[in-house]
Every structure is written in structure tokens, then in C-alpha cells.
Amino acid sequence: EEGGTALGLSEMAIVAERLGRSLLPEPLTPCALLAVSALRGCEGSRASELRAAIAEGTLLAAVAFQEQAGDLPGTTPGTRVTIDGDKGARLNGIKRFVAAGAGADGFIVSAAAAGGGALIWVPADAEGVVVEAQQLADGRFCATVTMTDTPVADSDHLADTLDALTLAISHATVIVS
């Protein structure tokens, strides 16, 4: 529907197995699987636009959910979305260990909001966003993403729950294994 191949998790496992044989250094799992899976659980035109751009190859999206080592799905984010009077919604927090984050065009960020958890789209070049690349012990790179008073447009609010993220992390875990 949005320009992808409509393959499921079983087919993705076959692709990942074949790519793993050659140790291809591509962000398949964090971008093509984790980000797309999280977006599939979100409704609205913005999520659909992001999925289509990923399928077209014009957008590299990363998921930013960890704030410290060991954070798992269900961990309440310290990153917060708040409404600041005339300024509107603002995002504040730090996400660490963002796989493929150093080269991403934007981030699907887990955050705490007034009603519970939320998923927010944050362009990498948004006001108040700082992305720092970090090399891991195995030679791969990840990023630390800091958001300070980053404005959040209504259209960039992807979900009012973290359920889509939890399911996406489960899918990515299966593929990585």
C-alpha cells in the first residue's frame, strides 16, 4: 500500500539470515524492521507518510527508546512531552544507544506524556536536537540523541501508547537472533 514489498516477519527472517552470512553492514534491523514495525502500530497520515518514505528509500528512521543500559520495553521513559503555554508541545530528554542513529534523518522517540506513554517523530535537524555518534566495542556506531525544548507539531505525535514500540522490539529481537 505504501510502496514496500508486503513481506512478513518470516520473510524478513530469511532476508536477515542471508545478509548475515556476508556480514553486510546495513541498518536493516534498526531501520527497515524496528522503525517500520513501530510505525505500523501508529495511525494517522504522518505515520503513513513516514512508512512510504522509508519504503522509497528517501528516509532513514531510527528508534530512540533507551535512556540507560538495560532499558527494556515497558520502562517508563524519562524523556517527556509537555505543553508549554504559547510554545505548544515540547520534548525534553536524552536517548542513548540509538542504533543507526548517527546517520538517521529522524527518530521515533518514546516519551512520557500527560496521558501515559507516547511515540513522537523528531526530525534529526529539529530545533534543540543534538546527535552524537558513539562507537561500540564491536565497531558499530550508535548515537546519543539529546532533545532540549524541541518543538513537537501535532502531526508528529504518532501514538498515545508505547504498545507499538513493545511489539516492534519483539519483532526486531526475533530477527536479530
* Largest interatomic CA distance in the chain: 53
Determine the pLDDT at residue 4.
64
Determine the pLDDT at residue 3.
61
Average pLDDT over residues 87-115: 93
- Rg, Å, the chain Cα set: 16
Q: How far apart are CA 85 and CA 47, in angstroms?
A: 26
Q: How far apart are CA 46 and CA 42, in angstroms?
A: 9
Q: How far apart are CA 1 and CA 6, in angstroms?
A: 8
Give the tens place of pLDDT for each residue, 65-90.
999 887 776 678 999 999 877 778 99
Give the tens place of pLDDT for each residue, 19-61.
888 877 777 888 888 999 999 999 889 999 999 999 888 999 9
Q: Phi/psi of residue 53, each to 5°?
A: -65, -35
Determine the pLDDT at residue 75.
74
User: In terms of C-beta density within 10 A (0-12 exposed, 13-18 middle, 19 or more buried), how is residue 7 classed?
Assistant: exposed
- pTM for this model (two decimals): 0.90
Strand partners, 109: 64, 120
Give the tens place of pLDDT for each residue, 147-165.
999 999 999 999 999 999 9
Determine the pLDDT at residue 138.
79
What phi-psi label fits residue 85: left (phi over 0), alpha (psi between -120 and 50 degrees) or beta? left
| CB-CB neighbours of 80 under 10 Å | 15
Q: How is residue 158 written as a grid cell? A: 504518532
Average pLDDT over residues 100-129: 94
Closest CA to 136 of 101, 89, 161: 101
